[in-house]
Amino acid sequence: MAPAQLVEAEQIQKTLRIEVELRAVRDGLEFLFASSPIVIYTCKPYGDYAATFVGQNVTSQLGYAPEEFTKDSKFWVNHLHPEDRQRVLDSLSSLINKGHHFTEYRLQHKDGTYRRIKDEMKLIRDGSGNPLEVIGYRIDDTRRELMDGGRRKYGLSVWKRAEHLEDAVEYRTRQLIESEARYRTLFENIPERIFTKDRKSSYVSCNDHIARDLNISPDQICGKTDYDFYPRELADSYRAVDKRVMSSGKAEEIEEKYVACGHEFIVDTIRTPLRDSGGNVSGVLGIFRDITERKKMEARLAAEEMKQRLLKAELEATEQLAGMVGHDLRNPLQAIVGAVGVLKRDLVIRRDEKAKKMIHLIENSVEYSDKIVYDLLDYSRELQLELTNTNVKSLLKDTFALLKIPDNINVADLTPNELVINIDPARIKRVFLNLIRNAIDAMPNGGKLTITSQKLDEKVTIGFVDTGIGMTKEVLGRLWTPLFTTKAKGVGLGLPICKRMVEAHGGQVTVASTLGEGTTFTITLPLKTTN
């Protein structure tokens, strides 16, 4: 629809509303007059003063139907009492002069009797001041009892009443316009998108938000349908929901797709049926808001939760397996160690060099297997911390005592001498050991390992910085998975054990690594751990 037409449509809409209000006022007036003894009329301001309108209640006043007055231009004059006729017609000249006139006369009832009528009239002039019409009322004065005080009640006050009603209509109109403006402001400014459609699902109006999405101005929406703006499939589904809401007469809230500026959104829409003054559904009002981000977030959270659950299940299974394998391997290993011991004694006596070499190999392998079993058991065991105040530097020194650092690796421990934390020293020593071993493994051609420790608030961070081979993204992503290793003789439990132990202390392990440059593992521990 063209803007001019829309302005017109809006005007019509406003006028219709005002008309509804006026109708109520008119109904009130009609009721007032119909139930009062006052008969309202209008007539020509000249000649025989032919009636142009006579109120319905004239029938109860004089027995005639209103049409009898309006069809016969002489009806009123002819029913005036012959003795009053000339006087009344003469006196009417003052109506033209003063614009207002009051007179009394006898008028014949349909039953032939004469009634005493009081008649008050007012002259209506056109724009240029020429007499246009007379408007007046007649009251039957025969019913004295009504007239006592009744004149005050219904007589002159009728004009006042009409004026009052006029004021009331004007006031209500102003109120309507104001509330319309308020509603407009609301309509334009709330963050939701709002539209109204008629019974056929054609748009009647929309707010700026929707107009902006559609790249039109709000007044251009009127008369358009969803098929003008959205893919057929979407328009079909919008229309289906509109229809459902209009036929059920019940509001509905649904999540649906929405396309704006080439992007797809998920929106939450509430559709409410609109009703006309007779209570019949005349269209639908829709309010919707973008919930795309919320939906995405929900999906992400659900996926993350699922991942965590799977991971936890996997970890539990691995823990169980590790415990079982570790336990089962322990005994045969003990047996091998025992048997090798016996063989060794015999072989030493026989001085068989080749056999001795083989025995040495078995011993090394057993030792290595034992280490794996130890790791497996450590990993699966329930952790019960034995906390004690521990000097970090001393603990690092103890750890290094267990290791043989290759000559081409330079170690610098920058931990301050006085740093003391409340930890389980045996457990944290294992963590240090694993991290230092990994760093050494990562520097096959030599390099530098720097240990930096510092206190920050109620926490202590200890960093293990190596200048080794670093890690690929892929390795970084799988680091904490039990049994993940890139080493030929690796087990892949070192880091998962570190993580478990540090977390048991209420701390955490983080890693940063650059391929070919080096890796930094940082453990953060609370100064005081509560068991």
Residue 469 binds which of Mg ion, ligand ADP, none (CB < 5-8 A, kind-dependent): ligand ADP
Q: How far is the CB of 469 from ligand ADP (least distance, A)?
A: 6
Residue (202 or 522) nearer to ligand ADP, CB: 522
Residue (118 or 437) nearer to Mg ion, CB: 437
Q: How far is the CB of 495 from ligand ADP (least distance, A)?
A: 3
Gyration radius of the chain's alpha carbons:
51
Amino acid at 270: I
H helices of 108-226, where? Answer: 144-147, 150, 157-189, 208-214
Q: How far is the CB of 478 from Mg ion (least distance, A)?
A: 14
- HEC string for 325-340: HHHHHHHHHHHHHHHH
Q: How far is the CB of 472 from ligand ADP (least distance, A)?
A: 9
Residue (101 or 430) nearer to Mg ion, CB: 430
Q: How far is the CB of 485 from ligand ADP (least distance, A)?
A: 3
Residue 519 binds which of Mg ion, ligand ADP, none (CB < 5-8 A, kind-dependent): ligand ADP
Residue 463 binds which of Mg ion, ligand ADP, none (CB < 5-8 A, kind-dependent): none
Taking the mean position of all CA atoms in its chain, how far away is CA 441?
A: 54
Q: Are strands 447-456 and 409-413 parallel, antiparallel or unpaired?
A: parallel
Q: How far apart are alpha carbons 230 and 260 in whole angstroms?
A: 9
Q: How far is the CB of 216 from ligand ADP (least distance, A)?
A: 59
Q: Which two tokens stand for residue 83?
A: 């003795």
Q: Are strands 131-140 and 252-260 parallel, antiparallel or unpaired?
A: unpaired
| Residue bearing tokens 């009053």 | 84
Residues in the chain: 531
Are residues 275 and 296 in contact, defined by beta-carbon separation less than 8 angstroms? no
Residue 428 binds which of Mg ion, ligand ADP, none (CB < 5-8 A, kind-dependent): none
Sheet containing 203-206: order of strands: 203-206, 193-198, 281-290, 263-275, 252-260
Q: How far is the CB of 376 from ligand ADP (least distance, A)?
A: 12
DSSP category for residue 383: P
Are residues 92 and 49 in contact, defined by beta-carbon separation less than 8 angstroms? yes
- Residue sitting closest to ligand ADP (CB): 494
Residue 73 binds which of ligand ADP, Mg ion, none (CB < 5-8 A, kind-dependent): none
Sheet containing 447-456: order of strands: 409-413, 447-456, 459-466, 518-526, 508-514
Q: Which of 265, 219, 320 is nearest to 13 (CA)?
A: 219
Give residues in contact with ligand ADP (CB under 6 A).
434, 438-439, 442, 466, 468-471, 475, 479, 484-487, 490-495, 519
Q: How far apart are alpha carbons 158 and 199 in whole angstroms?
A: 44
Residue (158 or 439) nearer to ligand ADP, CB: 439
Q: How far is the CB of 400 from ligand ADP (least distance, A)?
A: 16
Q: How far is the CB of 313 from Mg ion (least distance, A)?
A: 24
- Residue sitting closest to Mg ion (CB): 494
Write the DSSP string, 134-151. Answer: EEEEEEETTSHHHHTTHI
Q: How far is the CB of 378 from ligand ADP (least distance, A)?
A: 12
Residue (252 or 441) nearer to Mg ion, CB: 441
Residue (282 or 520) nearer to ligand ADP, CB: 520
Q: Which of 453, 471, 470 is nearest to 462 (CA)?
A: 453
Residue 400 binds which of ligand ADP, Mg ion, none (CB < 5-8 A, kind-dependent): none
Residue (482 or 494) nearer to Mg ion, CB: 494
Residue 485 binds which of ligand ADP, Mg ion, none (CB < 5-8 A, kind-dependent): ligand ADP
Residue (103 or 513) nearer to Mg ion, CB: 513
Q: How far is the CB of 492 from ligand ADP (least distance, A)?
A: 4
Q: Which of 89, 53, 85 is nearest to 71 (CA)?
A: 53
Give residues in contact with Mg ion (CB under 5 A).
438, 494
Residue 442 binds which of ligand ADP, Mg ion, none (CB < 5-8 A, kind-dependent): ligand ADP
Strand partners, 283: 198, 274
Residue (450 or 485) nearer to Mg ion, CB: 485
- Residue 40 has, within 13 A of its CA and on its CB side, a CA count of 15
Phi/psi at 44 (nearest 5 deg)? -70, 150
Q: Which of 302, 272, 273, 306 is nearest to 287 (CA)?
A: 272
Residue 475 binds which of Mg ion, ligand ADP, none (CB < 5-8 A, kind-dependent): ligand ADP
Residue (257 or 437) nearer to ligand ADP, CB: 437
Residue (136 or 496) nearer to Mg ion, CB: 496
Residue (36 or 513) nearer to ligand ADP, CB: 513
Q: How far is the CB of 464 from ligand ADP (least distance, A)?
A: 7
Are residues 92 and 85 in contact, defined by beta-carbon separation less than 8 angstroms? no
